[in-house]
Amino acid sequence: MKLLIKKDQDAKIFGGVKFKLEARTELDTTESALIEKYKVHKEVLLIKNGTFINTDITIKSLIDGVVFKSSTIQEILKYENNVKKACRTFNNLINVMESFGGEYEINCEVDKESI
């Protein structure tokens, strides 16, 4: 999976600058097949409700692409961090979906010094 981020800016009608962040994921065929197999398009990857930032990112919106606009660079940075966090969650879900039908081992030894 690749996360593609594009930053841009436009001039406002009455002066100043409007910043824009576009983000979308590019999936390989295996990842796309897992999304289709498990029908997780509507799965929410991130819900952020804050004073300035209201962001709900789903698997479908991240695949299709999301656009955020703001008059401040700080908000654009928050949007970017939210998108990166959503992408990490998405990647974790892909890893879990890939693991079904298999078996793995975890070493559960306890460090004697920590007891």
Domain ranges for the chain, please list them: 2-98
Separation CA 58–CA 31 (nearest Å):
15
H/E segment holding residue 106: none
End-to-end, the C-alpha distance of the chain in Å comes to 40
Asked if the model's pLDDT at residue 51 lies above 60, the reply is no
**CB proximity list for 11: less than 8 A, separation 6 or greater:** 17, 18
Confidence band for 105, pLDDT divided at 50, 70 and 90: confident
The whole-chain average pLDDT of the chain stands at: 89
| DSSP tag of 87 | H
Res 15: pLDDT = 79
Tell me the sheet residues that pair with 44.
58
Q: Mean per-residue pLDDT for 61-66?
A: 95
Collapsed DSSP state (helix, strand, coil) of residue 98: helix
Tokens describing residue 63: 């695949």
Residue 101 has a pLDDT of 83
pLDDT at residue number 20: 95
Mean pLDDT across 19-32:
96
Residue 100: pLDDT band with limits 50, 70, 90: confident
Q: What is the pLDDT of residue 108?
A: 86
Question: What DSSP element (H or E) covers 4?
Answer: strand 2-11
Averaged pLDDT for residues 39-47: 93
